[in-house]
Amino acid sequence: MPTAEPSLRDEYAAAVERVAGRTLDALRGAGGAVALAPVLGPEPGPELASAPGPEPASGPGGAASGAVEPPRSLLAALRVVGPDLFAPQLLGGAAPDEPTALLLAQAHRVFPPMAATRAGQGTGAPDGNAVVAAWRDWAAGVLLVRALGAGPGSADPPVGVDPPVDGSAGSAERSVTEPAPAPATVPGHAAWPDPAAWQAWSIRMAQLSALALPGLDGAVHRTARAHPLALARGAVRSMLRRDHRAAARLARWLAWSRAQGIALPLDVEPIIARIRVVSDGSARTALELAIAEALLDTAGERA
């Protein structure tokens, strides 16, 4: 009896796990590109390339001239992992990974940033998922500009300056050459719960854990600095609810806060150690924990 083909969702989820695993390996010092550029040859399967081939000549837009198109599942996975693709360079001292950066730029063209305001919503208030996606796109855009260089007429905004707010995430081309705009914090709106409502606020911050990286700064980071107790409460609540991925993401924010010199109401290391024992064992969760540990290392170096 023939086996059924895996669903598209399963294929994309597996691709995300593979990219997260390669990023984790690079962060730990294994070396190599996170996502190798496609090479000349027959049409590849959905699997990620596991070994480097001859380096093709680059064409317009970062695509290799005459190279086969990378699988959409790979591009979608790069889109999901997003800013964390740069963690090996930002935290692990890895060499610049231009092949992965070029593929991430291509992924932004194939899967352009979503609008921050849902059509037909009427109020113009940003939807929560769209806000999360827009901030992640902004972070990826900032790091892409630094990795590949700005396009003509574009500039990397100074650290600490928020991206512009215009109700959309910008064009696909802009997302490759300059940071994508992201909505500003709207206190009290469902997209941005007030930190006093720490349960809902910590959930939103967990969704934005990819922003907890060195060299990024904005409204999300300022609210994280101002509310370490809410982050700690959210992490403990996630542990009690056995939501270990959310707990790992909030532990990462706590580690980032310590690296910023902020006093924390609890120790992060026991949380990380416990999650490592009881979590789902996925590469994505392991990557969150490894980034948190690397941030703690930077905090120790500054102490």
Domain limits of the chain? 193-303
Which pLDDT band, with edges at 50, 70 and 90, does 273 fall under?
very high
Q: Which of 137-146, 183-192, 284-293 has the lowest mean pLDDT?
A: 183-192
Phi, psi of 253 (to 5 degrees): -65, -40
Residue 237 pLDDT greater than 50, yes or no: yes
Does residue 269 or residue 48 have the better pLDDT?
Answer: 269
Tell me how far CA of residue 73 lies from CA of 52, 79, 98, 150, in angstroms: 19, 10, 20, 27
Mean pLDDT for the chain? 77
Residue 99 has pLDDT above 80, yes or no: yes
pLDDT digits (tens, 9 = 90+) for 242-264: 999 999 999 999 999 999 999 99
3-state SS, residue 121: coil
Per-residue pLDDT band at 197 (split at 50, 70, 90): very high
Question: In sequence order, which residues have a C-beta less than 8 Å from that of residue 97 and are 6 or more positions away?
Answer: 26, 33, 34, 85, 86, 88, 89, 147
- What are 47-53's contacts with CB under 8 Å, separation 24+? 47/18, 48/15, 48/18, 48/19, 48/22, 48/74
Read off the pLDDT of each residue in 6-15 and give the average, rounded to a whole number.
89
Helices 244-259 and 219-226, axial angle in degrees (round to 10): 90
Residue 168: pLDDT over 70:
no
Alpha carbon of residue 244 to chain centroid: 18
Quickly state the pLDDT bin for 40 (edges 50, 70, 90): very low
Residue 193: CB atoms within 10 A of its CB come to: 21
Looking at residue 95, its pLDDT comes to: 85
* Band of pLDDT at residue 150, cut at 50, 70 and 90: low
Category of 270 on φ-ψ map: left (φ > 0), alpha (ψ -120 to 50) or beta? alpha
Residues 6+ apart with CB under 8 A from 40: 53, 54, 56, 64, 66, 67, 68
The position carrying tokens 């720490």 is 198
Alpha helices in 114-164 (DSSP H): 128-148
Q: Quick check: pTM over 0.85? A: no
